């Protein structure tokens, strides 16, 4: 067990006096450990950047073919530019995978893919600049204050380079790569308070086939307005208890 590190500077964004968004380095650290854990468990990283495809290609090549000799090759894949991001990811991601997007808030269907990721069992990292996504839009939001698009683009490269570097540091901490165990008194997953599900199909009796992080299941939908294929719902004890589409229509 490693002892506490009183010698370390307290975690904070601007620990070095360099202009970076407050909290960025802590967010990077948490995202890197999460990514290392998922990679260790067999994840594939799906890379998306609808407006600037070169960023997605850059992220993928960093992980697949590291610039530092001896570092392991990791599965990272570009979501082909010009494709329907949601449809492409829905068809290819597996539970346990990750998505990293390099995109502005309103760029392409990134926000929509991120929203659906919990139903697919996928952890999300969103790198961007400008207006910040609302809380909970992705598991890890690595956001920059840069207003000039070229400066922002340069800083994105730094962010994903650091993401790669820190992820590989985490691989050397094998004791910390095991899946997180649940220590909270009330855990949403364990208590089944409500899991996100994506509706695949609905039959005439109000039963729906849905996709969740745990796989496909049949649920009852009589407690909510009839959902449509593609809708997100919250599932509890075999029933849809809330539609996640109501505010969106």
Partner 1 sequence: MSPQGTDFLYPFIEGDERDAPSLLADLARSAGAKWEQSSRLRKETLARIDDQIRQAAAAMARCFEGGGQLFVFGNGGSATDADDVAQLFTKPPRGEPLAARSLVSDHAVLTALSNDIGFDVVFSRQLEAHGRPGDIALGLSTSGNSENLLMAFGQAARRGMTTVGLSGYDGGRMADCEALAHNLVVRSDSVHRIQETQAALAHALWAAVQTEYRPHEGAA
Give residues in contact with partner 1 (CB under 8 A).
Answer: 1-5, 8-11, 14-20, 24-26, 28-30, 32-33, 52-55, 57-58, 61-62, 65, 67-71, 149-150, 153-154, 157-158, 161-162, 165-166, 168-170, 172-176
Compute and round to an integer the Cα radius of gyration of the chain. 19
Do residues 67 and 58 touch, judged by C-beta distance below 8 A? no
CB of residue 40 vs partner 1: minimum separation in angstroms? Answer: 13
Tokens of 92: 């290819």
Q: Which is nearer to partner 1, 53 or 234 (CB)?
A: 53
β-strands 207-212, 140-144 pairing: unpaired
Look up residue 228 and give its two tokens: 């449509």
Shortest reach from residue 168's CB to partner 1, in Å: 7
Q: At its nearest, how many Å lie between partner 1 and the CB of residue 92?
A: 20
Residue placing its CB nearer to partner 1 in the complex, 57 or 132: 57
29, exposed or middle or buried, with CB in 10 Å at 0-12, 13-18, 19+?
middle
Distance CA 147, CA 154 (A): 12
Least CB distance from residue 245 to partner 1, whole Å? Answer: 35
Burial (CB < 10 A; 0-12, 13-18, 19+), residue 215, is exposed
Task: Give me the least distance between CB of 233 and partner 1, in Å please.
Answer: 33
With respect to partner 1, which residue has the nearer C-beta, 13 or 194? 13
Q: Give residues with Cβ within 8 angstroms of 200, minimum separation 6.
A: 208, 209, 210, 211, 216, 229
Of 10 and 215, CB closest to partner 1: 10
- Cβ closest to partner 1, residue 19 vs residue 200: 19
Q: Which is nearer to partner 1, 81 or 206 (CB)?
A: 81
Q: Which is nearer to partner 1, 177 or 209 (CB)?
A: 177
36 by Cβ neighbours in 10 Å (0-12 / 13-18 / 19+) ranks as: buried
The distance of closest approach from Cβ of residue 172 to partner 1 in the complex, given in angstroms and rounded to an integer, is 5
Residue 14: count of CB within 10 angstroms of its CB: 13
In the complex, least distance from residue 62 CB atom to partner 1, rounded to whole angstroms: 7
Q: What are phi and psi of 78, to 5 degrees?
A: -85, 130
């Amino acid at each position: 067990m490693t002892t506490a590190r009183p010698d370390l500077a307290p975690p904070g964004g601007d620990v070095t006096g360099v202009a970076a968004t407050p909290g960025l380095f802590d967010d990077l650290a948490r995202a890197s450990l999460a990514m290392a854990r998922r990679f260790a468990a067999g994840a594939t990283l799906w890379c998306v950047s609808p407006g600037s495809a070169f960023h997605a290609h850059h992220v993928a090549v960093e992980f697949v073919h590291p610039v530092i000799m001896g570092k392991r090759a990791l599965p990272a894949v570009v979501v082909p530019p010009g494709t329907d991001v949601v449809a492409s990811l829905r068809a290819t991601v597996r539970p346990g995978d990750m998505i990293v997007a390099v995109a502005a808030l309103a760029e392409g269907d990134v926000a929509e893919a991120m929203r659906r990721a919990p139903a697919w069992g996928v952890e999300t990292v969103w790198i961007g600049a400008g207006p910040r996504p609302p809380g909970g839009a992705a598991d890890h939001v690595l956001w920059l204050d840069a207003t000039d698009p070229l400066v922002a683009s340069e800083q994105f490269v730094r962010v994903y380079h650091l993401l790669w570097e820190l992820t590989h540091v985490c691989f050397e901490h094998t004791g910390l790569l095991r899946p997180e165990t649940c220590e909270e008194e009330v855990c949403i997953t364990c208590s089944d308070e409500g899991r996100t599900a994506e509706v695949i199909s609905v039959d005439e009796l109000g039963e729906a086939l849905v996709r969740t992080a745990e796989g496909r299941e049949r649920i009852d939908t009589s407690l909510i307005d009839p959902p449509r294929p593609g809708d997100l719902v919250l599932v509890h004890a075999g029933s849809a208890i809330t539609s996640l589409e109501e505010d969106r229509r």
